[in-house]
Structure 1
Amino acid sequence: MTDGGAGDGTAIGLTELQLDAFTELVNIGVSRAAASLRQMIGTQVLLSVPSVEIVSRDAAARLIGEREAAPLVVVHQDFAGAFAGRALLIFPQENGRELVRAVAGEELSLEEVADLEDEALAETGNIILNGCLATMANMLQRTLTMSLPGIARGDGPQIFGMHAGGAAGADALVLFLYIDFSVSERDIRGYLAMLMDLPSLENLRLLVDEFIARALGDLDA
């Protein structure tokens, strides 16, 4: 999933070890989030995170535009603390509706799915984004505060354009992840993105260095 030099982490000076450590943090965070979602809907949930990319907002919009021609739905939440930004959970519209059926019930009509869609997506997004970020912050020995989830729709440029403000400004970079959901034997693909400005990414890089040092220290002990 590498997009040349823009997607290999070197844009903000991440070494291969730092990127590997951050990818591991994300994997653990997403796994914990999947466990929380499984408890809510009572069935097996698998979320895979094959790779992490650090790209510009324009590059993130291009990446998602290359993969998804259909309209997108996004759950967004701001986070603040030792590092700050905005987290986005993005689905193709039809995948979002499949997720609503998995959460709210297979027997729902199309009209009922439409009525419940925003509420179910916000709840699901809150579980995934909160679970992932809280786990990562805990492993970095920090805490984060999260805003209430909101819902938006659009294509890639619209989504990353409308989320340029807030906690992440015009110079925001995007930690971009591709995730496959498997819920109740459904294949539901989605994207997880975290928009952060350069100071927040630098803070995160320092926290990752501390995490690596603790891990190496434990190995040496």
Structure 2
Amino acid sequence: MSTASIELSALQQDAFTELVNIGVSRAAASLRKMIGVQVLLSVPSIEIVSRATAARLVAEREASEFVVVHQDFQGAFSGRALLIFPKENGRELARAVTGGDISPEEIAELEDEALTETGNIILNGCLATMANMLQRTLTMSLPRIIRGDAPAIFRPSAAGDDDEEALVLFLYINFSVHERDIRGYIAMLMDLPSLESLKLLIDDFIERAIGETGG
């Protein structure tokens, strides 16, 4: 599917990148309070792509299967948010969250709980902050975990809908947790009307920002 009709302009891209970075920074601060160590998150790139392209992007970067925390969101724009880690990085994050000095068997038992809580903090915190800055609210579902290869995690059945044409707002994120380098991805599965609504809200945000600076 062509994404030309919903591509972000350079100004929209800059504004949305700012929104996302503020969102993940606040989420990182919340995560730091929970685990008691320094947490840094950054979002160096944002793209709107098809599901197939999103699957290819993560498959090209990673050789392993993935562990994914996902939450549905509804409001001024709706969809499903995915926090995606290579399986090994998911374990490493769980180890950081639980303190690190535990056995592989204990990590396996605690991994889902640690990742669910981490995903809830990052996805909920990021989306809530973005919505607030766009002067809107979102309702979030409880987080759930799925595992699989890249095509599986972007398959419609995995996303809870049957829309093969749904697009993905794809964010590559870098983590640094307690001196551990952990990479991951945030993806938002959204249909065309939701993406168009989000673009309009970004335009409103840009207009308010220009007005505040007297530009």
Same fold (TM over 0.5): yes
Structure 1 residue aligned with 2:160: 165
Give a deviation string over 1:126-145, Cα, whole Å, max 9, x none. 00000000000000000000
TM-score (norm 2): 0.95
Matches within 5 A, 1:27-106: 27-106=21-100
Residues of 1 paired with 2:158 and 2:172: CA distance? 19
Structure 2 residue aligned with 1:176: 170
Matches within 5 A, 1:1-221: 10-161=4-155, 162-166=157-161, 169-220=163-214
Q: Name the SS for the 2:154 alignment partner.
A: helix
The residue identity in structure 2 corresponding to 1:174 is V
The residue identity in structure 2 corresponding to 1:211 is F
Give a deviation string over 1:80-132, Cα, whole Å, max 9, x none. 00000000000011111111111112111000000011111000000000000
Deviation at 1:10, TM superposition (A): 4.3
Residues of 1 paired with 2:159 and 2:65: CA distance? 19
Q: Name the SS for the 1:163 alignment partner.
A: helix
Residues of 2 paired with 1:213 and 1:30: CA distance? 23
Deviation at 1:20, TM superposition (A): 1.2
The residue identity in structure 2 corresponding to 1:85 is G
- Tell me if the contact between 1:86 and 1:196 (Cα under 8 Å) persists in the aligned partners: yes
Give a deviation string over 1:130-189, Cα, whole Å, max 9, x none. 0000000000000000000000000110000043434x8322111111111100100001
Residues of 2 paired with 1:163 and 1:83: CA distance? 20
Deviation at 1:34, TM superposition (A): 0.5
Unaligned runs of 5+ in 2: none
- Tell me if the contact between 2:51 and 2:168 (Cα under 8 Å) persists in the aligned partners: yes
Q: Name the SS for the 1:213 alignment partner.
A: helix
Matched residues, number = 213
Alignment RMSD: 1.4
- Tell me if the contact between 1:37 and 1:124 (Cα under 8 Å) persists in the aligned partners: yes
